[in-house]
C-alpha cells in the first residue's frame, strides 16, 4: 500500500497488541458480569468476544513466526477452513444477538440499566466485530496460499544461499 507509515509486519504487531488487550478486557468483563452481577448471558457473550479476539491474535502470531506457510502438511493450513467456518457462524450468531438485544430493548422500552438488553447487544456487536475481522484475516491467509504471486504471501523471508543467489522461503 502506498502512503502507509509502517510496514506490514508492524501493522500486524499493532493489531496483535490491540487484540491481546481486547482479550484481557473481554475476559475480565465476563468474570465481572458473571460473578458479581450474575448476568450469565452477557458474561457468555463477553467471553465469546474474548475468544475471537484471542483467535485473531493467535493467527497473526503464527503468521509472524512463519508457521502459516503454503505447506500442505502444516496443521495451521489444514485448520484455516475450520477457522473460516467458525468465523462465519460466529458472525451469524453475533448479528442475531445484537439485533435481538436491540429489538427487545426498544420494544420493551427499557431504561439503560445493568441488566438491560442494550448491554447484551453491545457485547454481541463486539463479538461480531472480532468474528468479522477473524473471517477477513483467515480468508486473506487462505487466499495467499492459493496464489503464486510473491506479493500475496503474508511475510516472505529471503535466505541468501552460499552461491550468492536469493531463495524465497
Q: What is the pLDDT, as a whole number, of residue 157?
A: 44
Q: pTM of the full predicted structure?
A: 0.77
Distances (CA, A) of 106 to 40, 67, 95, 138: 21, 47, 16, 35
Domain ranges of the chain: 8-145
Mean pLDDT, range 104-127, rounded to an integer: 81
Q: Which are the contacts of 45, defined by CB distance < 8 A and separation ≥ 6?
A: 94, 97, 120, 123, 124, 127
Q: What is the pLDDT, as a whole number, of residue 77?
A: 73
Angle between helices 117-145 and 40-64 (to 10 degrees): 20
Residue 115 has pLDDT above 80, yes or no: no
Tens of pLDDT, residues 33-71:
999 989 898 999 999 999 999 999 998 888 888 766 666
| Euclidean distance between CA atoms 52 and 55, whole angstroms | 5
Mean pLDDT, range 94-98, rounded to an integer: 91
Query: Under a CB-based contact definition with an 8 Å cutoff, are residues 46 and 26 in contact?
Result: yes
Residue 162 has pLDDT above 80, yes or no: no
Amino acid at each position: 500500500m502506498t502512503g502507509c507509515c509502517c510496514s506490514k509486519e508492524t501493522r500486524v504487531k499493532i493489531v496483535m497488541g490491540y487484540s491481546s488487550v481486547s482479550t484481557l478486557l473481554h475476559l475480565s468483563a465476563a468474570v465481572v458480569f458473571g460473578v458479581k452481577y450474575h448476568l450469565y448471558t452477557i458474561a457468555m457473550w463477553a467471553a465469546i468476544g474474548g475468544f475471537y479476539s484471542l483467535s485473531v491474535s493467535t493467527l497473526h502470531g503464527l503468521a509472524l513466526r512463519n508457521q502459516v506457510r503454503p505447506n500442505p502438511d502444516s496443521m495451521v493450513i489444514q485448520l484455516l477452513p475450520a477457522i473460516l467456518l467458525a468465523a462465519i457462524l460466529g458472525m451469524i450468531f453475533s448479528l442475531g444477538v445484537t439485533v435481538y438485544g436491540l429489538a427487545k430493548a426498544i420494544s420493551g422500552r427499557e431504561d439503560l440499566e445493568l441488566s438491560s438488553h442494550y448491554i447484551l447487544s453491545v457485547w454481541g456487536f463486539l463479538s461480531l466485530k472480532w468474528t468479522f475481522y477473524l473471517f477477513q484475516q483467515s480468508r486473506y491467509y487462505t487466499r495467499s496460499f492459493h496464489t503464486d504471486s510473491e506479493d500475496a504471501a503474508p511475510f516472505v523471508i529471503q535466505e541468501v544461499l552460499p552461491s550468492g543467489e536469493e531463495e524465497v522461503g
